[in-house]
Amino acid sequence: MSDQTTDAYYRTRTRNMAVTIILVSITPLLLVTSLILYEFRHSYREKVDAHLIELVQKHKQNIDSFLSQRLGDIRVIAATFGFEELSQEPVLRQRLSVLQQVYGPVFVDLGIIDAKGIQHAYAGPFSLAGADYSQAGWFQKALQREYFVSDVFLGLRNLPHFIVAVRQDWKGEPWILRATVDFVAFNALVEKIRVGQTGFAFILNKEGELQTKPNLDIVSNSKVFLDLLKEERKPGDRLRVA
């Protein structure tokens, strides 16, 4: 074997040994580092999700409480005064005035509607006396329930709003006390929800339609939102994080 061949052989052996030593030394380090990064990322994601769930759950309770209280106010009025008395517009205006004195502009108006969907009496800033709600989706649903809270819609006034309605009976016929809740006051509850420096909250209904005004432009029918809304929730599920 020539000297040149011997030198090449030893250089190859030396290089192979160096590569082997490096691989044996670095591979465990890389594996351990990858495992630590994975565990850290997993743990950090769990903490972020837990914080987000707690934040959303807290504000969900606040929103539910707001709606329950407004609905409770209307149920008390309907049960206390009845159809004949509330059908007198001075009485209805007085009830609206009391509500606005207590809660500010949260309640926009009140209306008394009969079983045919005709508004017998109205108190508020719009000209809606005698309005026909017989074909309105919210009226048809409210007529079948003891009480009802609608989605946000434009309606006859062509402004975003939602209603709370209570059904009562008079002489064997159902009637409804309807109140419009100020959209700005409701939206302010959701605007207070902040996640970090840039995160914000908004509400969608089951059809993917915006129920509040987000701080930034978003596509309400985004596939991500629609897929999340369509997911079946198991009993006991509090919130879903996508």
Clarify whether residues 66 and 164 are in a common domain.
yes
Pick from 214, 215, 216, 176: nearest CA to 82: 176
Residue 104 in this model has a pLDDT that exceeds 90? no
pTM attached to this predicted model: 0.66
- Residue 239 included in any domain: no
User: Across the chain, what does the average pLDDT equal?
Assistant: 78
Domain hosting residue 222, numbered range = 202-233
**3-class DSSP state of 107:** strand
Highest mean pLDDT among 28-32, 78-82, 235-239: 78-82
Clarify whether residues 67 and 178 are in a common domain.
yes
Q: Note the pLDDT of residue 191.
A: 63
Clarify whether residues 179 and 71 are in a common domain.
yes
Q: Note the pLDDT of residue 85.
A: 94
Sole residue written with tokens 């351990």: 32
- Residue 91 included in any domain: yes
Q: Count of domains in the chain? A: 2
Q: Looking at this protein, which amino acid is placed at residue 143?
A: L
Q: Note the pLDDT of residue 165.
A: 95
Pick from 96, 98, 134: nearest CA to 113: 134
Clarify whether residues 163 and 222 are in a common domain.
no
pLDDT band at 22 (very low <50, low <70, confident <90, very high): confident
Contact 131, 156 (CB under 8 A): yes
83-94 tens-digit pLDDT? 999 999 999 999
Q: Could you tell me which residues come within 8 angstroms of residue 228 by beta carbon, excluding any fewer than 6 positions away? A: 240, 242
Clarify whether residues 123 and 214 are in a common domain.
no
Clarify whether residues 85 and 122 are in a common domain.
yes
- In the predicted model, what is the mean pLDDT of residues 194-203? 58
**3-class DSSP state of 178:** strand
* 125 phi/psi in degrees, rounded to 5: -85, -5
On the CB side of 49, how many CA atoms lie within 13 Å of its CA? 11
The CATH number covering residue 97 comes to 3.30.450.20
- Per 3-state DSSP, the chain is made up of helix, strand and coil in percentages (nearest 5) of 55, 20, 30
Q: Note the pLDDT of residue 37.
A: 80
Q: Specify the higher pLDDT residue, 26 or 163.
A: 163
Clarify whether residues 177 and 210 are in a common domain.
no
- Residue 1 included in any domain: no
Beta bridge partners of 123: 110
Residue 100, exposed/middle/buried by CB under 10 A (0-12, 13-18, 19+)? middle
pLDDT band at 214 (very low <50, low <70, confident <90, very high): low
